[in-house]
Structure 1
Amino acid sequence: MLVRSFCTVLVWATVAAEDVGYFWHVTDFHWDFSYWTDQLSCNGMNISQPGLFGNQWCDSPWRLVQETITGIKSLKSDVDFMLWTGDTVPHVANPFLSTALNEELVRNVTELMQNEFPDIPIYATFGNHDYYPSNLYPPHGNEIYNETYELWKKWINDTSQDQYFLKGGYYTVLARPGLRIVALNSNMYYTHDTVTLGMDDPSDQFAWLDAVLTDAAFNNEKVILTGHVPPGYSTPRAVRWMSEAFNKKMNSIVSRHSDVIVAMHFGHEHHDNFRLYYNTAGKAIVSLFIAPSVTPWRYQILSEKETPHNPGVRLIKYDRQTGKQLDIYQYFMDLETANKVGYVNWTLGYQATTLYGIPDVTAPSMETLVKKMSNINSQEFKAYVNWYNTNGVKDFPCDAKCHKVVMCGLRNLEEGPFNTCLTSPNIFKCPPADPGCSIVG
C-alpha cells in the first residue's frame, strides 16, 4: 500500500503591532516497539487487525511517530523552537523494559526530530515512563540522565546546565533575548515515585527553580515553564498527579514568581485541558496548559474504561518581545479515517481565540473563558468538553456533577481548596457588577 502524508496548511498572518513567533508542543508519543508483534501496550486485548497508524487500545506504532514529526514539519517548519514533554516509552510492564531499551527508544525519536528539524532547538523533558523502572526517578546522577544528556546537549547548547541535568534531569536555556525556557523533571514529584517521596527537595530542583525565576525577574526575562507531570487536578477524574507536599511547593513557587511566568506547558494527561493560578485578589495570574498526547492509548482499570481519543499536536503563537501567549492551534489526526484510507491528514481542530471568543490565551483571557464556562449550557463549556478527547468523542458526556469537578479543577490546584469547592454550594462567587460571571451551584 502506498502511504502518503497530507497536511492542512494555514496562511500565517503577521500582526504588525507584535513580533509574532510560533513553537510546537508535542508530548506522550509512547512508542510501542511491540505493536506489530506482542502488543504489550494494548491493555491485554488481542487486536487482530491493528491499524497502520495505531489503535485506540494501544500505544503508538513507529509509523504514527514518524507521521507526527514529518506532519508538523509540513504544517509549519519555520518555528522558533519546539517543546517535547516526554513519555517516549510505552505503557509496558517493567519486565519487558530495561535501561538500555528505554534509552534506545528515546534515542530513535530524538534522531528523527533532529533529522526533520536540524536547525530548530527542541527543549525536551523526561516523562514518568522514560525512566527504568518506570516512575522511579532518583534525585541524583544515573545512567539515563547521563545518556540522555548526550542526546539533548546540542539543543540545550549551554555547558553551565550540565550539572543540573546530570544531577536531576532539569535545565534552563535562553530561547531568545528576554525569553527563558525552564525545563523541569517534575516526575520526581509524581505520586508513584517512592524514591523521592518524603524528601523535602529532590535533587534541589525547587531551590534551583526559585533561584532561576528570581534571576529572570532581575534580568527582565519572561519564562515559559515546561515539564511532564503537571501540578493541580486532572478532571473530570479528579486525580492529583503530584504528591501533596510537592504539589504545594510547586504552586507556591509559581504563584510567587507569577510576574515572570508567561505560561506553563505540560503533558502526561493525554487530554486537552488547562488550569489557572489565582492571586489573593481572585485574579488569574498564570495559565497552565496540558497538551493532548500523540498516543491514542486509553486506560482500562478493572471495569473503568476511558473513552477514545485521537492523536494531537499543538502549535502556540506568541509575542517574541514579551513572551505573551497569543493563540493555540490544536491539530488532530482522525485515527479511524487515517487507518481506513491509508494516509494521514493532520487537521486543524480549533484555534483557541476563535473557538472561545477570547483575544489571546493569557491568564486574564483564560479567566474570562472560565467565567463563561461556569454556565454548563454555554457554547464555551460544550466546546471545551468536546475537545477534551481531541475530537475522539464529538459529544463527550459531562453532566452537572462532571461540570462541577471540571470547574473546581480549573481554579483550584491544591487538595484543600479543591475538595472545599466540590462540597460548596457555589463553585465561586461573582464580583459585583460582573455580567460575564455566572455562579455555579
Structure 2
Amino acid sequence: MFGRKKVDVFRVLQLLLFLSNCVHGLAEKNVFNHGRTESGKNFTGRKMGYFWHVTDMFFDPYYSPLGAPEDDCHIKNSENFTRNCGFFGEFGQCSAFGLMETIARAMNATTRWKSTAPDFCIFTGNLRCPNIGDRQDDIYETISAFVTDIRNAGFVTIYPSYGWYDYQPHGHHPLKLTTHYERVKNLLRDERDSSNYCQKSLDHNPKVKQILGQPGPEIGYFSRVQPPENRIRVIVMNTNFYVRNHIASRRPDPARQWRWLIEELRACRIAGQKAFIVMSVPPGFDRKSYSEENLDKGKENLLVWSNGHNRRYLRIISKFRDVVAAQFAGHRHEDTFRLVYDRKGKAVSAVLLAPPMSPRFGNYPKIRIYMYDKHSGKLIDYVQYYFNLTKANQDADMTSPEKYWEVSYSFRDFYRLPDATTSSFEKLVKNFQSDNNVVFDRYHSNAEGRVNHKATCDYRCKLISLCVITSLEFGRFSECVSGKFAADQIRTRLSVQPLPKPLRDRLFRRFNPISASPTPPSVNYMDRTEDTRVQAFQTF
C-alpha cells in the first residue's frame, strides 16, 4: 500500500511537470508565431534573445477623461461639449496617462517566462505631444518617467534616440553639449557601466580603443556593446541633424556624427561584432506626402533628409554591409520598411519602421517585440501587438489593463517568410510585384493602420509605395515614380502609366538645378558627376 502511494506521488509529479511545460509552451506561443516549436533560447542550435521596440508616444500631460474630444481632451469650458474622453485615450488625440501606464505591464505580461525575457528595449523618439507648449524641463521629466517605468518592468538597458519633438523648440536640437543632453546622459547611465554608457565604447580590445580614440561631444548619439555575449553593438544616432528643415543639415558633418559612426562600424568589424543602428527619423522618402490633395506638403517633404546626408548614409551602410545586422526607426507613423541597395542593385540592409504607440493618427496603439540571434544579430521574427482602445474604454478596467494588449500578427506567419532578415524583405518586395495583390493588400492595411478605414490602393498608389521602399536615393526614386522603371517595380493587370508631367514637375521642382531653392541638385550616378557643394559628403 505504501509503495503504491509512492508510485501515485511520482505520477502526480510527472503530471505537474507535463502541465508546467504545456503552460510554458502556451506562453511562448502567445509571444512568437502562435505556437511554433522554436522556443526561447534554442532555434536550430542558436542562442536567441528578445527586445522591445516602442516609438512615437506623444504623451499629453494635460489629457483628462473629463475633457471632450473637440477640445483635445483638455478640461475647458466648451459650449460644444459632446462627451467625455476615454480613460485610456481617444483616436485622433495624443496619448493619455492611462495608456502610458499599460506599456510596462504589457511587457511583463507577454514575456513573463525567463526564456522570453527581453534583453533590452529601444525607443525611437517623440515622447511629448507636439500640440502643447512645453518647457525643456517638461520634456526631460517625461523622458525620466518613461525610463523609470521601463526599468521598473525589469529592463536594465534602454536605448532611446532623440525624436524631432524631443527638444524645445521642436527640431532645434543643438550641436553642442547642453544641460538637457547632460541630464539625459546621466539618466541613461547603467549602474554596471557607470559613465561609459554614453559616447564611449565598452570594448577592452586595444585595437578597437586605438581606432575609436577620444569620444566626441555628448549630444544625443552613443553606442554600447550589449552584455553578456558582447556580440551586438547598439549604435544610437541623432538623425535630426540631417533632416532638411534642421539648420545643421547644411553642414558636411554635424556634430562629427558621421566620423563617429564610421569609427564605430570599423570597431565592430575588428571585434567581430554586429551592429544594430537605432534612429528616430529614417532616410528616404515619406509615402504619406504623395497625394494630389496634399501636393504642396509633398513637395516640401519629398526627401526627408538633405540630399547629401541621405546619400552618404546609404553609402556607409553599403560599405559596412557585413557589419550592420539591422536598422530600426520610427517617426513615419506606419508599419513598414525600407531596403538599402548597393550600386549593383543588390539589397544589403533593411530599415524596419515601427508603428506609433500613440492613437493620435487614428490608429490602435502598437508596440513590437523582436526575436534575434544573440551571436549573429540575425532577426528571426517579430510580433506586433496592439492595444484594443475601444474595448478598454468600454470596460474601463483599470486593475488589469494589460489584457487589452493583443497580438496583431507575427511577421513570419503573416507573410510566410523564413525570418526577418534583409533577404526576406527583398523576397517580400518581389511578392508585392506579382500579379496577385493579396500580399501587398495585407502590407498596405498594416502600413495605414487606421481604425474603421478601408485601405484602398490602386496601381499608382502601389507604385509609389514600392518606390518609397526600394528607392531611398533621389535620382533612383525620381526615375522610379516617373515611370522609367515602373515595369520593373510593379506589374499589374492595368497598364502602368507614369505620373503626369505637371504633377511630376510640381513634385520635383525643389530639386531643379535652376531653382532658387538652396537644396543641392541631384546626383547623376550614371555619369558619376555631382555638384561641388556636396563633394564634402564623400570623405569617408
TM-score by length of 2: 0.72
Partner SS for 2:129: coil
Q: 1:217 aligns with which of 252, 266, 269?
A: 269
Which letter maps to 2:259? A
Distance 2:325 2:460 in 1: 32
Q: Are 2:223 and 1:169 aligned?
A: no
Distance 2:82 2:322 in 1: 50
Matches of residues 337-348 of structure 1 in structure 2 within 5 Å? Answer: 337-343=391-397, 344=401, 345-348=404-407
Q: Where do 5+ consecutive residues of structure 2 fail to align?
A: 1-27, 75-79, 200-214, 291-301, 497-540
Matched residue, 1:103: 140
Partner SS for 2:460: helix
Deviations 1:156-178 (A, max 9, x none): 93634545585321111111422
Q: Are 2:162 and 1:126 aligned?
A: yes
Q: Taking structure 1 as reference, are residues 33 and 155 closer, same or farther at Cα in structure 2, changes over 3 Å only?
A: farther
Q: Taking structure 1 as reference, are residues 416 and 29 closer, same or farther at Cα in structure 2, changes over 3 Å only?
A: same
Distance 1:100 1:322 in 2: 40
Distance 2:466 2:474 in 1: 14
Deviations 1:325-373 (A, max 9, x none): 1111111112222222224411111111111111111111110000011
Q: Which has the larger radius of gyration?
A: 2
Q: Taking structure 1 as reference, are residues 97 and 363 closer, same or farther at Cα in structure 2, changes over 3 Å only?
A: same
CA RMSD of aligned residues (A): 2.6
Partner SS for 2:175: coil
Distance 2:191 2:479 in 1: 43
Deviations 1:205-243 (A, max 9, x none): 011001111111111111110010111123243543222
| More relative contact order, 1 or 2 (CA 8 Å, 6+ apart) | 1
Which letter maps to 2:137? A
Distance 1:417 1:358 in 2: 27
Which letter maps to 1:215? A
Corresponding pairs, count: 416
Which of 69-78 and 365-374 deviates more?
Answer: 69-78
The CA deviation at 1:192 is 2.7
Distance 1:165 1:113 in 2: 28
Q: Taking structure 1 as reference, are residues 346 and 286 closer, same or farther at Cα in structure 2, changes over 3 Å only?
A: same
Distance 1:328 1:391 in 2: 21
Matched residue, 2:412: 353
The CA deviation at 1:200 is 1.1
Matched residue, 1:179: 232
Which letter maps to 1:25? H
Partner SS for 1:271: coil
Point out the structure with the larger strand share: 1
Q: Are 2:45 and 1:17 aligned?
A: yes
Matched residue, 2:445: 386
Matches of residues 410-425 of structure 1 in structure 2 within 5 Å? Answer: 410-425=469-484
Q: 1:91 aligns with which of 130, 133, 151?
A: 130
The CA deviation at 1:282 is 2.1
Q: Where do 5+ consecutive residues of structure 1 fail to align?
A: 1-6, 299-307, 431-436
Q: Taking structure 1 as reference, are residues 232 and 207 closer, same or farther at Cα in structure 2, changes over 3 Å only?
A: same
Distance 2:285 2:254 in 1: 22
Kept in 1, the 8 Å contact 2:237–2:278? The answer is yes
TM-score by length of 1: 0.87
Matched residue, 1:292: 355
Q: Taking structure 1 as reference, are residues 398 and 54 closer, same or farther at Cα in structure 2, changes over 3 Å only?
A: same
Q: Taking structure 1 as reference, are residues 191 and 148 closer, same or farther at Cα in structure 2, changes over 3 Å only?
A: same
Distance 2:479 2:192 in 1: 42
Matched residue, 2:336: 273
Q: Taking structure 1 as reference, are residues 159 and 41 closer, same or farther at Cα in structure 2, changes over 3 Å only?
A: farther
The CA deviation at 1:197 is 3.0
Q: 1:311 aligns with which of 344, 365, 374?
A: 365
The CA deviation at 1:8 is 9.5
Distance 1:61 1:8 in 2: 30
The CA deviation at 1:424 is 1.7
Which letter maps to 1:22? Y
Q: Taking structure 1 as reference, are residues 335 and 142 closer, same or farther at Cα in structure 2, changes over 3 Å only?
A: same
Kept in 2, the 8 Å contact 1:387–1:394? The answer is no
Distance 1:32 1:71 in 2: 20
Kept in 2, the 8 Å contact 1:386–1:393? The answer is no
Q: Are 2:459 and 1:406 aligned?
A: no
Which of 231-240 and 67-76 deviates more?
Answer: 231-240
Matches of residues 26-105 of structure 1 in structure 2 within 5 Å? Answer: 26-36=54-64, 42=72, 48-77=83-112, 78-93=117-132, 96-105=133-142
Partner SS for 2:250: coil
Which of 7-16 and 418-427 deviates more?
Answer: 7-16
Q: Taking structure 1 as reference, are residues 400 and 111 closer, same or farther at Cα in structure 2, changes over 3 Å only?
A: same
Kept in 1, the 8 Å contact 2:311–2:473? The answer is yes
Q: 1:153 aligns with which of 189, 192, 212?
A: 189
Partner SS for 1:211: helix
Which of 10-19 and 229-238 deviates more?
Answer: 10-19
Which of 245-254 and 136-145 deviates more?
Answer: 245-254
Q: Taking structure 1 as reference, are residues 266 and 40 closer, same or farther at Cα in structure 2, changes over 3 Å only?
A: farther
Kept in 2, the 8 Å contact 1:32–1:40? The answer is no
Partner SS for 1:154: coil
Q: 2:252 aligns with which of 200, 215, 231?
A: 200
Which of 37-46 and 377-386 deviates more?
Answer: 37-46
Kept in 2, the 8 Å contact 1:217–1:260? The answer is yes
Partner SS for 2:486: coil
Q: Taking structure 1 as reference, are residues 191 and 340 closer, same or farther at Cα in structure 2, changes over 3 Å only?
A: farther
Point out the structure with the larger helix share: 2
Deviations 1:381-415 (A, max 9, x none): 01101111346356312111211110001101122
Kept in 1, the 8 Å contact 2:188–2:197? The answer is no
